[in-house]
């Protein structure tokens, strides 16, 4: 029964997110209210807020939500932070990315880029993600070095996401975009691990 309840909760969450994205795309982020989203998704407003704490979080689904700090903190003994993060993204691309909805990704990113409020909120989420990662890394490397490491990792991941989005917008199929992302991700982690001089000839 617990498994069934969790599946139903996830289905409800996905329905709310899909309805919100459709309404935002059709009418604009500022013109749509949370009450309108709840009504269209056929849930109570209070129920909506149990899944999404704010209107912005409905539009920013997936942005800055990777638990980079948790991935690093829970990594197997003997694995470096970069090894743990590389393994996470390899598994992610082999799993969830295989079922990507191209139109939904494009619509969401255009929505964020087109709204100063959402762009600002997205930047705040990414900043918080980077700071949390830095705190975990500081346990081994000290505050300043950890901050530099987290900044490089976060900037690299953001660049990969932007490149993936631009591929989709330019007409690449999800399969083509995911394949390119997988190759770029390997190069990116090689770059983080070994530096420019080591990988510049690749």
161-198: pLDDT as tens digits: 889 888 888 888 888 888 899 999 999 999 999 887 66
What pLDDT shows up at residue 33? 94
CB distance 156 to 191 below 8 Å: yes
Indicate the pTM of the whole model.
0.82
What is the CB neighbour count within 10 angstroms for residue 26? Answer: 10
For residue 107, with 0-12 CB atoms within 10 Å meaning exposed, 13-18 middle and 19 or more buried, which class applies?
middle
Q: Measured between alpha carbons, how far is 129 from 71 in angstroms, rounded to an integer?
A: 12
- Categorize the per-residue pLDDT at 200 as very low, low, confident or very high, splitting at 50, 70 and 90: low
- φ and ψ at 28, to 5 degrees? 95, 145
CB distance 61 to 23 below 8 Å: no
**Quick one: CA dihedral 32, 34, 36, 42, positive or negative?**
positive
- Categorize the per-residue pLDDT at 104 as very low, low, confident or very high, splitting at 50, 70 and 90: confident
181-to-50, 118, 185 alpha-carbon distances in Å: 33, 25, 6
What pLDDT shows up at residue 64? 65
pLDDT in tens, 34-90: 999 999 999 999 999 999 999 999 988 777 678 999 999 999 999 999 999 999 988
Better pLDDT: 38 or 202: 38
Residue 22 pLDDT exceeds 90? yes
Q: Measured between alpha carbons, how far is 30 from 32 in angstroms, rounded to an integer?
A: 6
Pair of tokens at residue 156: 């690299």
């Amino acid at each position: 029964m617990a498994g069934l309840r969790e599946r139903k909760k996830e289905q409800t969450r996905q329905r709310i997110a899909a309805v919100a994205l459709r309404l935002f795309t059709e009418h604009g982020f500022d013109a749509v209210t949370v009450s309108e989203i709840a009504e269209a998704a056929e849930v109570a407003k209070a129920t909506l807020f149990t899944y999404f704490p704010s209107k912005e979080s409905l539009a920013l689904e997936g942005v800055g939500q990777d638990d980079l700090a948790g991935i690093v903190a829970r990594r197997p003994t003997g694995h470096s932070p970069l090894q743990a993060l590389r393994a996470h993204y390899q598994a992610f691309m082999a799993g969830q990315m295989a079922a990507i909805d191209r139109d939904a990704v494009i619509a969401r990113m255009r929505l964020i880029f087109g709204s100063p409020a959402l762009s600002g909120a997205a930047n705040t989420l990414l900043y918080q993600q980077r700071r949390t990662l830095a705190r975990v890394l500081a346990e081994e490397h000290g505050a300043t070095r950890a901050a530099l490491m987290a900044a490089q990792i976060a900037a690299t991941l953001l660049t990969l996401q932007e490149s993936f989005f631009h591929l989709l917008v330019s007409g690449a199929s999800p399969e083509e975009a995911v394949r390119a992302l997988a190759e770029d991700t390997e190069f990116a982690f090689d770059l983080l691990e070994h530096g420019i001089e080591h990988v510049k000839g690749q």
